[in-house]
Amino acid sequence: MKKILYIAAILIGLTSCSGGSITLPNATGAAGEILLVIDDSIAKSAAGDSIYRLLDRDVPGLPQSEPHFNISKTKHSGFTNLLKPARNIVIVNVGHRYSHNKIKTYKDKYSKPQAIIEINGPTKEGVRKAIVDYSEEILDFFIKAERDRAITHQTHYRERAVGDKVKEKFGIDIVIPKGINRIKEAENFMWISNSNIDLNQNIVIYSFPYTDKNTFTKEYLSYKRDSVMMLNVPGPAEDSYMSTEYKYEPPILKQTALKSGQFATEMRGLWNVVGDIMGGPFVSVSCLDKENQRVITAECFVYAPGKNKRNTIRSLESVLYTIKFEKDEQH
């Protein structure tokens, strides 16, 4: 079973802190940026290499290599008030003043919205081991922080009229970002896109009956995706249609949770067009509408040839996590 953050707290002393009630400045830096606070002697060790490799790891499901985060680095002596408001910060400390390995997380310590992880330990090897053992938790902490920031922004600048149409059709509330307002509908299906041909952004929502627990397997969700897209998302050439790329980079499936806390399944990978040369990344989130015994899938996909896509798909996928069923809104 995948370790989650509070388990790490028990095992290695990971604790969480939040800033007080004082007024904080706005966090600085662009989406996807992270500041690594680490002294040279540690940065050149295996511990420093481990944290750098983790943050620099490629984002899965993109057609080109792009890191999870763009890393800036400073020594502890350079971590001044000018740098402290950075949106994402990793602080690495090694020294005998620490009796054991400990990872602390902070929200909104120096600015808002801000995410900080502090990794402390008595030895470089101990810190390296903590980073390796809890690499997924560390990465997920910052990915979720980026998602939450994007949700806040998208919610403020949402297409409310389009959201109302989604609610009328599917009985769900979901944030539709500003500018994504071109709608194509079919039975149990809606495709919403923007009009930017250079950076084409799309959200697709569809539903289908829930049968059993195998509904949420990669095989079944991939099958449903391909059948729905083949029918409803044609390509530019005659008889062309959207499909899923399986050879170059097969889709990745993981369990997750919506912003509301409801269980969901995330699938990410690459799409292509059968009969044409178009392609790009997609992310889908599927969840169970227990009351109506159906599955709701919301997907985003991007077409932006020749452009980096990490920040675009990350911002767009954030709204998939805003799904709420009408019954949830009544509570």
Can you give the pLDDT at residue 4? 33
Predicted pLDDT at 221: 97
Task: Tell me the CATH number at 243.
Answer: 3.40.1000.10
Last residue of a domain, one of 96, 124, 154: 154
| 34/142 same-domain check | yes
pLDDT of residue 17: 60
Q: Is 53 found in the same domain as 162? A: no
pLDDT at 328: 61
Rounded distance between C-alpha atoms, residue 127 and residue 106, angstroms: 18
d(CA 64, CA 59): 9
**What does the pLDDT read at residue 13?**
44
Q: pLDDT of 102-153, one tens digit each?
A: 999 999 999 999 999 999 999 999 999 999 999 999 999 999 999 999 999 9
One domain, residues 169 and 51: no
259 and 165 in a common domain: yes
Residue closest to 127 by CA, chosen among 149, 104, 161: 104
Q: How far is 116 from 18, CA to CA, in rounded Å?
A: 10
Structural domain count of the chain: 2
Provide the whole-model pTM.
Answer: 0.90
- Per-residue b/e over 248-283, b at no fewer than 16 CB within 10 Å? eeebebeebebbbebebbbbbbbbbbeebebbbbbb
Under-50 pLDDT residues of the chain: 1-14, 331
Task: Based on the fold, state whether residues 132 and 105 are members of the same structural domain.
Answer: yes
Confidence at residue 280, expressed as pLDDT on a 0 to 100 scale: 97
Burial class (CB in 10 A: 0-12, 13-18, 19+), 51: buried
Q: What is the pLDDT of residue 22?
A: 78
- Are 191 and 121 found together in one domain? no
Query: Which residues, at least 6 apart from 29, have a Cβ–Cβ distance to it below 8 Å?
Result: 35, 86, 87, 88
Q: Supply the pLDDT for residue 11.
A: 37
Q: Which residues contact 223 (CB under 8 A, 6 or more apart)?
A: none
Residue ranges making up the domain that contains 67: 5-154
Structure tokens given for 286: 């599927």
What pairs with residue 158 in β-bridges?
A: 177
Q: Are residues 257 and 210 in the same domain?
A: yes
What is the spatial distance between Cα 300 and Cα 65, in angstroms, rounded to a whole number?
Answer: 20
Nearest residue to 235 via CA among 301, 176, 181: 301
* Residues 164 and 285 both lie in one domain: yes
